[in-house]
Amino acid sequence: MVPPLDAVAVLKLLLFLAAVVGYNGEGTTVKVASCPLITGGKCPDPRVTFYLYTPLNPTLPEKIEYTEKSSNLLQLNFNTSLPTKIFTHGYNSGKFIFDHLRREYLERGDYNIILQDWADLVPSPCYFTAAHNTRFAGRCLAEMVRRVWATGATDVHLVGFSLGAHVPAFAANDLRPLRLPRITGLDPAMPLFVTSNLDEKLDASDALFVDVVHTNALAQGKVEQCGHIDFYMNGGITQPGCYGESGCNHHRSLAYFAESVRSEAGFWGWPCGGVMHYILGLCPPRGTPWKMGEDVDQRGQGFYVVRTNSAAPFARGPWQVAPTEFTRTGLRFLRSPWAPFRRR
Ligand SMILES: *[C@@H]1O[C@H](CO)[C@@H](O)[C@H](O)[C@H]1NC(C)=O
């Protein structure tokens, strides 16, 4: 077992290195071996930008300009009577990662879709600094939420993928005592977020409703529950059709959620005691089928398991109890991830 990295120690080391490398006086950005590390600073910042898509401009984004006091939202196609969705990408990524999700929403209906782009702060191989920069990205996101609220639009839903799933959590800290209506975390990143401090990661206190989709727990994603309701897709660790490839497992959270926006069949889960219960085959489908995704039933709480197909369309519709499901779930799972460790 690799012991969890002590995030604080790592950051102290980085800050020390940064100080050695040079601190640029009035600014608050330092470079650690060409990795951008933001240790303070104000939003707006040219490295954290926001783009708007609406039914009037579904494919070509409008750039949102904002200050601490105002924004150009009302000069753009922003429509205050529509629900607003704000998406935040993760490490070594960019806003392009949400092309599919954005299209699904605008095909479904009328929304203001805002994409947060902080690609300049999360370049590879700078995971340590990227993880630290979530705070700053969160501060800018909070500023954007305030500007959206200032237009009179209140229905704001933040969606973060991977490392980006923690950005809304930092935004929520900044917005206190105001509460966000909803945050969705798509396979929230695990590395450096193994901490007991709830203020430094996504958790249920960050919004009135927090739903989380786990697809690569223990590898790129977190294993512990971090919302009001947590969906462990196919048990949450590996995904069918991914053949153990971590990136594939991780990105499935986004694929499932995007499909849920317009899926007729829908993704339906059932409650389960936890990952170990699932692994041991102790989670037969039971109770009332519970919907995952955009239309999640917000009265739900706790740990849920959802089974999917191995290729798109992934949604299987409401499950039906079959006596054989019980053992198959456990055995299927046991066979795949441990297979490499088995003797031939
Ligand atoms: C804003 O959205 C509402 C509700 O969908 C719609 O009726 C209205 O026409 C929209 N306004 C503009 C300027 O597009």
Instruction: List, for residues 287-299, the tens digit of each pLDDT value.
Output: 889 999 999 999 9
Whether omega for the bond prior to residue 36 falls within 30 degrees of 0, making it cis, is no
162 is catalytic: yes
Question: In this structure, how many other beta carbons lie within 10 angstroms of the beta carbon of residue 272?
Answer: 24
Cα 82 to averaged position of ligand 1 atoms, centre (Å): 8
pLDDT above 90 covers a percentage of the chain that reads: 72
pLDDT above 70 covers a percentage of the chain that reads: 82
pLDDT digits (tens, 9 = 90+) for 156-197: 999 999 999 999 999 999 999 999 999 999 999 887 666 657
Q: How confident is the model at residue 204 (pLDDT cuts 50, 70, 90)?
A: very high
| pLDDT, mean of residues 301-318 | 96
| pLDDT, mean of residues 38-57 | 95
pLDDT of amino acid 13: 47
Task: Please give, one letter per residue, the 3-state secondary structure of 150-212.
Answer: HCCCCCEEEEEEHHHHHHHHHHHHHHCCCCEEEEEEECCECCCCCCCCHHHCCCHHHEEEEEE
| pLDDT, mean of residues 14-29 | 45
Domain-embedded: residue 284:
yes
What's the first-to-final CA gap in the chain, in angstroms? 24
Domain-embedded: residue 292:
yes
Domain-embedded: residue 23:
no
Domain-embedded: residue 70:
yes
CA–CA separation, 58 and 112 (whole Å): 10
pLDDT of amino acid 259: 98
Cα 209 to averaged position of ligand 1 atoms, centre (Å): 27
Task: Give φ, ψ of 244 to 5 degrees.
Answer: 75, 5
pLDDT of amino acid 30: 67
Query: Exactly one of 71, 162, 253, 260 is catalytic; which is it?
Result: 162
Cα 147 to averaged position of ligand 1 atoms, centre (Å): 19
pLDDT of amino acid 68: 92
Which of 234 and 332 is assigned the larger pLDDT?
Answer: 234
pLDDT digits (tens, 9 = 90+) for 120-154: 999 999 999 999 999 999 999 999 999 999 999 99
Domain-embedded: residue 30:
no
Domain-embedded: residue 32:
no
Q: Is 74 in the pocket of ligand 1 (CB under 6 A)?
A: no
> Has residue 344 got a pLDDT over 60?
no
> Has residue 15 got a pLDDT over 50?
no
Residue (of 232, 237, 234, 201) closest to 217 by Cα position: 237
What CATH number is associated with residue 287? 3.40.50.1820
Residue nearest to atom 3 of ligand 1 (CA): 81
> Has residue 8 got a pLDDT over 60?
no
- Three-class secondary structure of residue 34 per DSSP: coil
| pLDDT, mean of residues 91-98 | 96
Cα 160 to averaged position of ligand 1 atoms, centre (Å): 27
With contact defined as beta carbons under 8 Å apart, do 30 and 21 qualify?
Answer: yes
Q: What is the count of structural domains for the chain?
A: 1
Q: How confident is the model at residue 320 (pLDDT cuts 50, 70, 90)?
A: confident
pLDDT of amino acid 157: 98
CA–CA separation, 136 and 79 (whole Å): 27
Q: How confident is the model at residue 108 (pLDDT cuts 50, 70, 90)?
A: very high
Cα 186 to averaged position of ligand 1 atoms, centre (Å): 30
Domain-embedded: residue 11:
no
Q: Is 109 in the pocket of ligand 1 (CB under 6 A)?
A: no
| pLDDT, mean of residues 2-27 | 44
Residue from 75, 110, 155 to probe ligand 1 pocket by mutation (most atoms less than 8 Å from CB): 110
With contact defined as beta carbons under 8 Å apart, do 215 and 224 qualify?
Answer: no
Cα 57 to averaged position of ligand 1 atoms, centre (Å): 13
Domain hosting residue 152, numbered range:
43-341
CA–CA separation, 308 and 317 (whole Å): 9
166 is catalytic: no
Task: Give φ, ψ of 290 to 5 degrees.
Answer: -120, 130
Q: Is 79 in the pocket of ligand 1 (CB under 6 A)?
A: yes
> Has residue 57 got a pLDDT over 70?
yes
| pLDDT, mean of residues 198-209 | 89
Q: Is 110 in the pocket of ligand 1 (CB under 6 A)?
A: yes
CA–CA separation, 208 and 114 (whole Å): 20
Domain-embedded: residue 8:
no
Whether omega for the bond prior to residue 58 falls within 30 degrees of 0, making it cis, is no
Mean pLDDT, the chain, whole residue set: 86
Distance of CA 263 to the CA centre of its chain: 20
Q: What is the pTM of this model?
A: 0.85
Q: Is 21 in the pocket of ligand 1 (CB under 6 A)?
A: no
Q: Is 10 in the pocket of ligand 1 (CB under 6 A)?
A: no
Which alpha helices (H) appear in 220-287, and where do they start and end? 246-262, 275-279
Residue nearest to atom 13 of ligand 1 (CA): 79
pLDDT digits (tens, 9 = 90+) for 225-261: 889 999 999 999 999 999 988 999 999 999 999 999 9
With contact defined as beta carbons under 8 Å apart, do 87 and 161 qualify?
Answer: yes
Distance of CA 93 to the CA centre of its chain: 13
Residue from 75, 77, 81 to probe ligand 1 pocket by mutation (most atoms less than 8 Å from CB): 81
With contact defined as beta carbons under 8 Å apart, do 160 and 183 qualify?
Answer: yes
Name the token pair of 253. Answer: 């959270």
Q: Is 82 in the pocket of ligand 1 (CB under 6 A)?
A: yes
Residue nearest to atom 6 of ligand 1 (CA): 81
Give the DSSP letter of residue 324: T
With contact defined as beta carbons under 8 Å apart, do 249 and 219 qualify?
Answer: yes
250 is catalytic: yes
